A and B are shown apart, each in its own frame.
Chain A
Amino acid sequence: DTAVSQTPKYLVTQMGNDKSIKCEQNLGHDTMYWYKQDSKKFLKIMFSYNNKELIINETVPNRFSPKSPDKAHLNLHINSLELGDSAVYFCASSQEAAGGFIGYTFGSGTRLTVV
């Protein structure tokens, strides 16, 4: 069973297009995230949602808009794609419990290439 699933796995698109990446988790976690992994492999948090509410919104161009229809889904929509948006985007989910976390799980990533 896939715990955190992202679709699509690969996405190649032209500059100026609008695209979406979907993420779903079946772990019952309350919090979901989007990370961007740049060419140097560094992961940077973009957004975090807790029970459908935006709680973290790092410095990200407003062309990026997350949407959470329910706590099991967090989609990422990108408008007017630019070459610099090419990266691997990771979705993740977590659940905080007493004494720490009972799980923090990543999806397998979506490799976005803008041409």
Chain B
Amino acid sequence: AQSVTQLDSHVSVSEGTPVLLRCNYSSSYSPSLFWYVQHPNKGLQLLLKYTSAATLVKGINGFEAEFKKSETSFHLTKPSAHMSDAAEYFCVVSESGNQFYFGTGTSLTVIP
């Protein structure tokens, strides 16, 4: 069975400070993991994905995530938040390629 837990439903940071969005997963096999971002009234956009290659994955817009098997985590980070980063972020896990499980989302607020 696979599942994903986003530990924070809401995160608020000041512009220019680091961002950390936490995600833990459970999976019976080696999963593929993704982070997606959804801006208000927009569709989902892929930020980055892990598919058993390098454990540190770099994505778009300065985001990166580190796959830690021992901790079953795939936290999303960014060194310096920008106002345009304010959005909803989804962590996604998949084992088979035919089923993808979404976390419940983390809403990121960036304070000027």
Contacts and interface: CB of A to CB of B under 8 A. Distances in A.
Interface of A: 31, 33, 35, 40-45, 48, 50, 55-56, 90, 92, 94, 96, 99-101, 104-109
The contact size tier of chain B is 20 to 34
B32 interface: yes
B53 A99 contact: yes
Contacts of A56: 98-99
B52 A100 contact: yes
Nearest to B43: A108
Given A43-B102, A48-B98, A104 B49 contact: yes
A31 B36 contact: no
**Is the contact region of chain A dominated by helix, strand, or loop, or is it mixed?**
strand
Contact of A104 (B38, B46, B53): B46
B74 interface: no
